[in-house]
Amino acid sequence: MDSLFRDLPSNAEAAERFEELLTRPGVRIERIVSSGQSTPPGEWMEQPRDEWVLLVAGRAGLTLEGEPPLTLQPGDHLLIPASRRHRVDWTETPTVWLAVHFEGGI
Amino acid sequence: MDSLFRDLPSNAEAAERFEELLTRPGVRIERIVSSGQSTPPGEWMEQPRDEWVLLVAGRAGLTLEGEPPLTLQPGDHLLIPASRRHRVDWTETPTVWLAVHFEGGI
């Protein structure tokens, strides 16, 4: 047994932390710990596969292109579809995300 | 966007609630809401595939056969391997679990 809340930063760090928790055929579960990071202004992220995210602790602003900005609180989850442009507008310190990456057939 | 904390029971219910959140090839993400349920005394559960569980809210007791009982708090997660006998000894009301079922190749 392990905890998503293990070893969290109390102050902003230089970069987000990405930690793989489990990988199986077609899926990868990852913990992401943010401490104030955001997507640089004017930039978007996109990934070639579906990604499901759950905000576990903290708070964050997330925008999917063409939609109003979202504020995520603990327990909030959503699917970021493959190739859908999105950005993280802001994050609290610390913010803990659970990300499930689907890497199987399209 | 949806929340794992939506529509939680404040009192014990007759049965646990199981809600599928997302399914993709090889994987199924499910919310489970417990309200005091436990595995009947002397019984064990087992499933044919790996299952990864995260306790999101509440508290629960979980035992893997042959190991000491665990108390899960929010943020705690573990893999329940395929065919591994386990039981839920107790749950608070409400307890929210996230379960990721791996249904791909063995």
Please name the member of B3, B27, B50 whose beta carbon is closest to the beta carbon of A75: B3
Do A4 and A33 form a contact (C-beta atoms < 8 A)? Answer: no
Q: Is B83 on the interface with A (CB under 8 A)?
A: no
Query: Testing the interface with B: which of A49, A100, A101, A103 to mutate, by most B Cβ within 10 A?
Result: A100
> Is a pLDDT exceeding 50 seen at residue A81?
yes
Q: Is A90 on the interface with B (CB under 8 A)?
A: no
Per-residue pLDDT of chain B (106 residues; tens, 9 = 90+): 999 999 999 999 999 999 999 999 889 999 999 999 999 999 999 999 999 999 999 999 999 999 999 999 999 999 999 999 999 999 999 999 999 999 865 4
Residue A105: pLDDT band (50, 70, 90) is: low
User: Which residues of chain B does A70 touch, with a Cβ-Cβ cutoff of 8 Å?
Assistant: 1
Nearest to A99 by CA among A31, A6, A44: A31
Nearest to A24 by CA among B29, B102, B46, B47: B102
ipTM associated with this complex: 0.93
Give per-residue pLDDT as tens, A6-33: 999 999 999 999 999 999 988 999 999 9
d(CA B101, CA B80): 10
Do B79 and B51 form a contact (C-beta atoms < 8 A)? Answer: yes
d(CA B15, CA B66): 27
Q: Is B102 on the interface with A (CB under 8 A)?
A: yes
Do A37 and A25 form a contact (C-beta atoms < 8 A)? Answer: no
Within 10 A of B92 (CB to CB), how many other CB atoms are there? 13
Cα dihedral value B38, A56, B31, B106, nearest 10: -90
* pLDDT score recorded for residue A106: 45
Do A18 and A47 form a contact (C-beta atoms < 8 A)? Answer: no
Cβ of A76 and B2 within 8 Å?
yes
* pLDDT score recorded for residue A7: 95
Do B22 and A52 form a contact (C-beta atoms < 8 A)? Answer: yes
Q: Is A73 on the interface with B (CB under 8 A)?
A: yes
* pLDDT score recorded for residue B26: 86
d(CA B23, CA B78): 20
CA-CA distances (angstroms) from residue A14 to A9, A44, A46, B67? 11, 20, 22, 40
Within 10 A of B32 (CB to CB), how many other CB atoms are there? 19
Write the CB contacts of A44 (distance below 8 Å, at least 6 apart in sequence): A65, A85, A86, A87
Do A16 and A58 form a contact (C-beta atoms < 8 A)? Answer: no
